[in-house]
Amino acid sequence: MILKGKEIVLGVTGSIACYKSVDLVSRLRKLGANVNVIMTGNATEFVSVITFQTISCNSVYADMFKPIGIREHEIKHISLAKRADIIIVAPATANIISKLAWGIADDPLSATVLACRCTILVAPAMNESMYRNPILQENIRKLKKRGFRFIGPASGNLACDEEGEGRMVEPEEIVEEIVALIGVKQDLEGKKILVTAGPTREFIDPVRYISNPSSGKMGFALAQEARDRGGKVVLISGPTNLALPDGVKFMQVLSAEEMEKEVLHHFDDSDIVIMSAAVSDWKPSVRVKEKIKMKDELNLRIESTSDILAELGKRKGKRILVGFALETENLIKNAKEKLKEKNLDLIVANKIKGNYPFGSDTNKVVFIERNGKVTSFPKLHKSEIARRILDRIKP
């Protein structure tokens, strides 16, 4: 069991999303973790103490001055804080987030968090207007600077009969994050990993460009996985709509030329380079300075962009170099040729069907290694594909 022997403290605050936390406790216990639950007074109005006590097989900490099954001479919140490998606050209301940001410790949960030295993971849950409030956003930024990690919120239907951002993320997502934080070996500690992500844009005029539908999700998943395994990560990405991962050095680029410049700047210091960006193969020969009007005739001349991956293959040395291949036909044959031509250690290949896998959270890929080994996988979440890529290439 991947979390066997891990001590987890779950803080539950007053939100309708409390019911999800019951499922979260169950999932964590199935992975071998010992879970102690701390409830605020408002949380007990949504889910009973006995529910969490039953599902966790531990007494629940819901009052500053009542015993919760630990030795009488121990100070309760200090004891929990010392034992915890991680503290999760899920759901986390605007109230608890703001209290933690300002060091207020007037209930069992806030006192325990203030006393801990372990990783703290926060899963917000509230109305979208509350979440977007500048005061709350300032408090979230403050906590992130202090090392707190946040997951979510997600968008969707809210309890207030509105739709927007503010839903607590699903328990399985929180479990994945917890496993990444405390259940994964730090096998990349001391290694420098360079990851590229997203598309590039090659402008025709100020408002039109050549690009592709890449979402950047694969590259961001790789950066997060490498970070969670102890790597020092540089993420270079074209335009995406993704939240920036904490704990990585991030560079935003736009064109293939900008991507090449940043990649070459960081290449020499890297131990592992994973080129998952969908770099445009072509660019206009001339970029028009003014917007082209519809009545004007458009004769577009294009030329190839620089082959960044081929250049890295020439400079590879002892580095591990990974590339990607998206094909519409002859997947294995074309991917093998690319692996050889670019001097790669591993190529991750997949076939496009319609618009899939662009924008999707999942993909169906094939690994082809330098030694010729070919491994096909079923449809997997991109975070799982990232894990398997790093499992395959770790030094």
User: What digits encode the pLDDT tens for the residues 40-66?
Assistant: 999 999 999 999 999 999 999 887 656
**Predicted confidence (pLDDT) at residue 170 exceeds the cutoff of 60:** yes
pLDDT of residue 385: 95
Q: Per the structure block, which two tokens stand in for 112?
A: 């325990």
* Confidence label for 161 from pLDDT (cuts 50, 70 and 90): low
**Predicted confidence (pLDDT) at residue 101 exceeds the cutoff of 90:** yes
> Which of 368 and 291 is assigned the larger pLDDT?
368
pLDDT of residue 70: 44
**Predicted confidence (pLDDT) at residue 102 exceeds the cutoff of 80:** yes
390-394: average pLDDT: 91
Residues facing 163 on adjacent strands = 157
Nearest partner of 169 among 151, 148, 144, 150, judged by Cα: 151
User: What digits encode the pLDDT tens for the residues 245-281?
Assistant: 888 999 999 999 999 999 999 999 999 999 999 999 9
Q: What CATH architecture is 192-393?
A: 3-Layer(aba) Sandwich (3.40)
pLDDT of residue 80: 85
**Predicted confidence (pLDDT) at residue 89 exceeds the cutoff of 90:** yes
* Confidence label for 72 from pLDDT (cuts 50, 70 and 90): very low
pLDDT of residue 159: 62
- CATH number of the 7-183 domain: 3.40.50.1950
Residues belonging to the active site: 160
Mean residue pLDDT across the chain: 91
User: What digits encode the pLDDT tens for the residues 340-386?
Assistant: 999 999 999 999 887 778 889 999 999 999 999 999 999 898 988 99
- 284 CB neighbour count, 10 Å cutoff: 17
What is the C-alpha separation between 246 and 226, in angstroms, rounded? 12
What is the C-alpha separation between 175 and 102, in angstroms, rounded? 27
**Predicted confidence (pLDDT) at residue 71 exceeds the cutoff of 50:** no
Instruction: Using a pLDDT cut of 90, give the percent of the chain over it.
Output: 74
281 exposure class (CB count in 10 Å sphere: 0-12, 13-18, 19+): middle
Instruction: Using a pLDDT cut of 70, give the percent of the chain over it.
Output: 94
Q: Per the structure block, which two tokens stand in for 387?
A: 């894990």
**Predicted confidence (pLDDT) at residue 74 exceeds the cutoff of 90:** no
Q: Give me the DSSP letters along 253-308.
A: --SHHHHHHHHHHHHTT-SEEEE--B--SEEESS--SSPPPTTS-----EEEPP-H
**Predicted confidence (pLDDT) at residue 193 exceeds the cutoff of 80:** yes
**Predicted confidence (pLDDT) at residue 185 exceeds the cutoff of 80:** no
Nearest partner of 153 among 161, 163, 145, judged by Cα: 163
pLDDT of residue 69: 45
322-344: average pLDDT: 96
* CB 86 within 8 Å of CB 28: no
**Site of tokens 């009007």:** 293
Do 7-183 and 192-393 agree at the fold level? yes
How many residues in the chain?
395
Measured CA to CA in angstroms, residue 327 lies from 256, 324, 332 at distances of 20, 10, 9
DSSP element (H, E) containing 354: none
Q: Give me the DSSP letters along 92-111.
A: E-HHHHHHHHTT---SHHHH
pLDDT of residue 293: 85
Q: Who contacts 2 (Cβ-Cβ below 8 Å, separation ≥6)?
A: 31, 32, 179, 183
Q: Phi and psi for 226 in degrees, rounded to 5?
A: -65, -40
What is the C-alpha separation between 127 and 110, in angstroms, rounded? 22
DSSP element (H, E) containing 50: helix 49-56
pLDDT of residue 166: 87
pLDDT of residue 160: 61
pLDDT of residue 230: 86
User: What digits encode the pLDDT tens for the residues 11-45?
Assistant: 999 999 999 999 999 999 999 899 999 999 999 99
- 354 CB neighbour count, 10 Å cutoff: 6
**So where are the chain's domains?**
7-183, 192-393
317-345: average pLDDT: 96
